[in-house]
Amino acid sequence: MLLNIVVITLTGLGLFFFLATTVGILRFPDFYTRMHAAGKGDTISSLLILLGLALYNLHHLSLSTALVSIKIMMILVFFFMASPTATHAIIDAGYESQIEPWHNDEEEQA
Amino acid sequence: MIWSFDLLILLFMVICAFFVIQVKDLLGAAIVFGVYSFLMCLLWTEMGAVDVAFTEAAVGAGVSTVLFIAAVHRSSRQVKPRKRWRRPNKAVGLIAAGLLGGVLFYASVDFPDWADPSSPASTHLSPYFITEALADTSVPNLVTAVLADYRSFDTLFETAVIFVAGMAVFMILGQKTKESAQVGIDLTGGYEDTIIRVVSRALVPFMQIFALYVVGHGHHSPGGGFQGGVLLGATFVLLAISFDLKMVLGRMSEKKNLLLANTGVLLYSGIGVLSLLLGANFLDYSILHTLLPSTGPVVARSHAILGVEIGVAITVMAIIILIYTNLSSGGTNEKGL
Amino acid sequence: MVDFFMTVGIVLFLLLFLILHRTVMGPTIIDRIMGANVIGTKTAILLVIIGLIYGRVEMFVDIALAYAMLNFIVTIAVSRYFMHHKNLRPSGYGLIHKEKNE
Amino acid sequence: MISEEQIPVLIIVVPLLGALLVNLAGLLTGRAGISLILTVAVLSLALAASVQTLLLVMEKGAISYRLGGWPPPFGIEYVIDHLNSLVLVVVNAVSLIAVVFSGRSVKAEIPSHKISLFYCILILLITGLSGMTITGDAFNLYVLLEISALTGYALIAVGEDRALMASFNYLILGTIGASLYLLGTGHLYIMTGSLNMGDLSSLLPSLYGSGAILTSFILITVGILIKMAFFPLHTWLPNSYSYAPTATSCIAAPLVTKVSVYVMLRSMFTIFTPAYVYSYLNISSLIVWLAVIAIVGGSLLALAQRDLKRMLTYLIVAEVGYMVGGAWLANRLGLTGTILHIVNDALMTLCLFMAAGTIAYRTGNLSLIASRDRHGSWDKSSGSGLAGLFKIMPFTMAAFTIAALSMIGVPPTAGFFSKWYLVLGAIEAEQWGYMAALIFSSLVNAVLFFRIFEIAYFEKSSGDMGIKRGESLEAPLSMLAPLGIVAVSLIILGIYSGDIVTHIIQFAVPLS
Amino acid sequence: MELLISSYNYWIYIILMMIGLYAMLAKNNLIKKIIGMSIFQTAIIVFYVSISAKKDATIPIIEHGKGHGHSAVISAMDYANPLPHVLMLTAIVVSVGTLGVALALAQKIYDRYKTLEEDEILEQLQEQAVSDSVMTSSGCDNDK
């Protein structure tokens, strides 16, 4: 039962972060800010949900389920390495193709 | 199958397909097409077709998209508006699509209900495969069993198709002399990205081990020669992208690739010919137990399936590398993406 | 618990719809890449969730792992495109023609 | 070591292994010369196996071969009866002759480092065509269809400049055709649950009324019609075969369309059975009228061409109309004529394309009206690149004449007999429009070829290029010998066509 | 409503198929045609995989421990139909092969004509044909 609560909390948190990511991706004004939301929020939400799934899988603890959980953790580790690299590459692509960062002109004038 | 997921994914896919066709930027179209393939793979897992999903993930979402990007990289990204005198094409397309849709819709009324367990397709041949394949071949993954044993002749030619495709790409694009490349690209800008290099270098060995695991473990889980081969090829593609083509070609030269592609098909058909020589029918693996010590015909089938899968993996890996290197460099093998 | 994962899956799908909007509408090509990358990572998670619903995760994690890898490769490949072609929009041709004869 | 029962599979296995061997030999030795020898050896073996199979079939009746040893509805099965063993012999014989013939032109047209690859893909094309002919499994046929298609795209694309676009169009249309076929097979599968052709034919009768079966029939037929370049869907063919390298057009032009016609016959006879196709559907006269349009359209378009090779490609389109029409006459005579015409037309087309290839090899100019040579070395008053060829290349033109007469349908040649059966079938089925179309097309062929004879016989050649007026400039023996063999065989086939019909074809026709 | 639930899968594959066919025939850009081709082929795969789906059935991999020893009973109702999956594995391979060849052709065409638009290529081809015939009729003076 405790496990279930932990799983639900982790997955729920992950979903919350993903919701925040989605809002960020939709609402932020320019590419760099959107990428900021996508890069961070996407990674953390993936990690949390995967962690929850890996824990849930340990429900019936045995060698085979432990192995599967280890595999899920491998996906997690892979995301942990690959996702920031991908974010870096995309940001770089945007920078190379001369996307201008967004400025809040009103604020600067004020 | 999980029908609520099913409906959502199909909706997604139609939207994607529509926008893929509409987008005016070819690179954008390639990316949206990649998303389309991602969703398609999800659709198949949801319907229980895990092996198809694995293949689609490897091929559709991974390699196809990279190939599209490579092709766009060597050509143009622009879609120009159509000249007026070509307008009739649009009408032809609409009429043909309408006709096809009408005919197919007319047929779909007679289909048995979706996912009905008593439909002819689920009651005629498939029960035999489901109930007997494990006893016949000792391979729990039914798809692998049917693919590499009951219908191994199809799979032999599937391997031949991918072999032909690689040879065809090499035939069309491959150039011996570098000067004959007509299009020069401004390659001065591509600088070396340390972060990407370090991460790829760290990840590639694990990915390759994973790919080998996929090839070998195809008997018990989704996967097999084709999926593993594509993954292996994709690791080399990753190296070629994050470093450059020379680095990959130094390890897997074009000649080596061509040889490997041949070897794979040869291994597959060789196993078939071996059973032919031992007096059984072509590709009848059970006879091979006379060669393998202390195995019965059933285990011999299982072993032969593994051999066949390895052959497929070798060919597919070599061909994926070959197609990528040729497409991304315009056949010159000079500098890729 | 399976119902919970069903719900999680459906919520993920609905959120992906919103991200799909970014992917197909742009405005820039890089936004599309970003959207595709996010959809790719979330599909890998959805794969594991489908596996849990089927009750046979062990068969699905391999696919999810392969998925994550290929998503990474695709993202790197697209972003490398902009190392060579530094134009955001497809106006004109990305390549500089160097005719041999000229 | 290999018993008699294993011979049918050698028709596929030998070329498959041979293709790999040719490629490996080319890669490892780096010498192109060895490829041709190996290719000829491999194709001779395949031809021997197919002749042996034909003899076996004539002796014992239909053979079934289980691939992988699995019983038919579960595994893949070869079914070899009189019809496809005959087509197999034709496929292998034509390809062997064409490969021997085109040895020189390949050296001239293909870059040297790609020659072994070219031969490898060529053998795989033949493997695909043989496989399509031999298989008894609907899905296996699709895989082999794609093998022959993919190899075809590659082989066409290495031709001259314009071949690229032709190959691309072929690829788009060919993929539509193959996909429609696959979709039709899917409809069959969803309704019956089987893929084996024999099994399907036994499951279908209870489903005749179903719209899905009708749809599957339409999809499969339209898919194959695209592949065989039936008139309104023929647009890929002329450009592909006229810009392809000589070797490709010599093999693909006679074989690809004929094997597709065979596949249509197979789907009509074995999958859907004549009972459904002819009696239940009752659309014979509609399709015969479509065939009439195809014949007339192909012939008229051939009249409009100014280049010999292009003209020949449109003649293929017209000939496809013959065979489709004959198959849908729904009587024994029409079907006999169709099957005989598959054999004859393969040889006639081969002979004409080889003659055109020989002329192109020597003079580089195949235009019928005005010289279009880029170098301008031909006097424009000479008109055609074919002028005076009877003097320059007498043997080539003799072979060309025999093939042309056969195409027109002049009695001692083979073409006459198949047309005769078709006309008889048309009379029996009372399809006067089809009969008129046959006669019209023969007339058009006569006009076309006599125009060429006139140019080649009476007009004087005035080219320089080192050709002295009236001097014989015959092609080398390696090109002439195959050409001669085919030309002679056209006459022999004509003389013995009665025997072929009584010993082979009459068993292949399912109608009683 | 029941009809909708029981066959919406088949309808949506028809829509995908129509989109693909339309793109193959009507689009002017060669790469767009190739993308249309891929959609067309994947639509067929959707169709086949839909055939294989079964209510309350799991993936076609025999669960560990079943089919051996005394509990050697495998119920055909418990597993999805593996045959269409096998066919579609082959079809996917074929489609990636076709895709590779098509892209190679498109790239070669771009190298040659410097454009991927079908109408521009056809214009160039026509110009080429016209210039060829002009060359012969005007005594080939512009020949270089």
Q: What is the pLDDT of residues C35-72, one digit of tens each?
A: 999 998 998 899 999 888 888 888 888 889 998 999 99
D54-108 pLDDT, tens digit per residue, is 998 888 888 888 888 888 888 888 889 888 899 999 999 999 999 998 888 888 8
Contact across the interface for B337 and C16, Cβ inside 8 Å: no
Does B283 contact D191 at a Cβ distance shorter than 8 Å? Answer: no
8 Å CB contact between B327 and B233: no
What is the three-class DSSP state of B80?
coil
**C-alpha–C-alpha distance, residues D240 and E105, integer Å:** 14
The 10s digit of each residue's pLDDT in E108-121 is 888 888 888 888 88
Of all residues in chain B, the one with the smallest CA distance to A82 is B199
Which residue, among D70, D122, D194, would best test binding to B if mutated, counting the most B CBs under 10 Å from its CB? D70
| pLDDT over 80 at D200, yes or no | yes
Which H helix or E strand runs over D351? Answer: helix D332-363
Interchain CB distance below 8 Å, A88 and B196: yes
In D, which residues are within 8 Å of B285 by CB distance? 68
- Statement: residue C91 has pLDDT above 70: no
Overall pTM > 0.90: yes
Cα nearest neighbour of A35 on chain C? C34
Best of B21, B25, B56 to disrupt the C interface (most C CBs within 10 Å) is B25
% of chain D with per-residue pLDDT over 70: 92
- The reported pLDDT for the residue numbered B72 is 87
DSSP string, A10-69: HHHHHHHHHHHHHHHHHH-SSHHHHHHHHHHHHHHHHHHHHHHHHHHHTTS-SHHHHHHH
pLDDT bin (cut points 50, 70, 90) of residue B229 is very high
Q: Which residues pair with D80 in a beta bridge?
A: D63
pLDDT tens for each residue of D402-438: 999 998 888 888 888 888 899 999 998 888 888 999 9
- Residue D382 has a pLDDT of 43
* CB B323, CB E100: distance < 8 Å: yes
Touching chains D and A? (3+ Cβ pairs < 8 A): no
Torsions phi, psi of B212, nearest 5?
A: -65, -40
Query: Is the CB of residue E36 less than 8 Å away from at least one CB of chain B?
Result: yes
Q: Do chains D and C touch (3 or more CB pairs under 8 A)?
A: no
**Lowest pLDDT segment from B107-116, D229-238, D427-436, D452-461:** D452-461
Q: Which residues of B touch A82 (CB under 8 A)?
A: 199, 203
CB contact under 8 A, E114 and C54: no
Nearest Cα residue to D124 out of B162, C9, B216, B14? B162
> Containing H/E element for D79?
strand D76-80
Residue of B nearest to A85 (CA): B196
E131–chain B nearest CA distance, Å: 21
Q: Which of D27, D73, D153 sits opposite B168 (nearest CB)?
A: D153
Residue B178: count of CB within 10 angstroms of its CB: 11
Binning pLDDT at 50, 70 and 90, where does residue D379 land?
very low
CA distances from D507 to D11, D84, D88, D200, D512 (A): 22, 11, 16, 21, 10
Give the whole-angstrom CA distance, residue D154 versus residue D248: 10
pLDDT at D488 over 80: yes
Q: Which residues of chain B form beta strands (DSSP E)?
A: none
Contact predicate A26/C23, CB 8 Å: no
**Which residue bears the tokens 């069993």?**
B145
User: Taking CB atoms and an 8 Å limit, are B273 and D140 in contact across chains?
Assistant: no
Q: Given an 8 Å threshold on Cβ–Cβ distance, is B32 in contact with C36?
A: yes
Neighbours of chain E (3+ CB pairs under 8 A): B, C, D
Contact E44 D182 (CB under 8 A): yes
| Percentage of residues in chain B having pLDDT higher than 90 | 20
Residue from C3, C78, C86, C88 to probe the interface with B (highest B Cβ count within 10 Å): C78
Instruction: Tell me if D140 sits within 8 A of D130, measured CB to CB.
Output: no
Higher per-residue pLDDT: D434 or D281 = D434
**Would you call A81 an interface residue with chain B, using a CB distance cutoff of 8 Å?**
yes
Residues of C in contact with A64 (CB under 8 A): 58
Q: Confidence class of residue B311 from pLDDT cuts 50, 70 and 90? A: very high
- Strand, coil or helix: what is B133? helix
Provide the 10 A C-beta neighbour count for residue E28.
21
| Cis status of the peptide bond prior to B222, with omega within 30 of 0 | no
**E127–B contact, CB cutoff 8 A:** no
Q: What whole-number distance in Å separates Cα of residue D160 and Cα of residue D306?
A: 18
**Closest residue in chain B to residue A89, using alpha carbons only:** B196
Interface contact B157, partner D, CB < 8 A: yes
pLDDT value at residue B162: 92
What letter represents residue A57's amino acid?
N
Q: How many alpha carbons lie under 13 Å from residue C47 in its C-beta half-sphere?
A: 32
The rounded mean pLDDT for chain D is 85
**Residue B254 CB coordination number (10 Å):** 16
Q: Which residues of B touch D211 (CB under 8 A)?
A: 106-107, 109-110
Query: Which of E16, E67, E103 lies at the smallest CB-CB distance from B14?
Result: E16
pLDDT value of position E69? 53
Q: DSSP letter for D461, please.
A: P
Chain pair C-E, CB pairs under 8 angstroms: 10
Which residues on B lie below 8 Å from A85 (Cβ)? 195-196, 199
> Given a cut of 50, is residue B21 above it in pLDDT?
yes
Q: Specify whether the CB–CB gap between C91 and B253 falls below 8 A.
A: no
CA-to-CA distance for D322 and D409, rounded, in angstroms?
A: 13
How many B×C Cβ pairs under 8 Å? 200
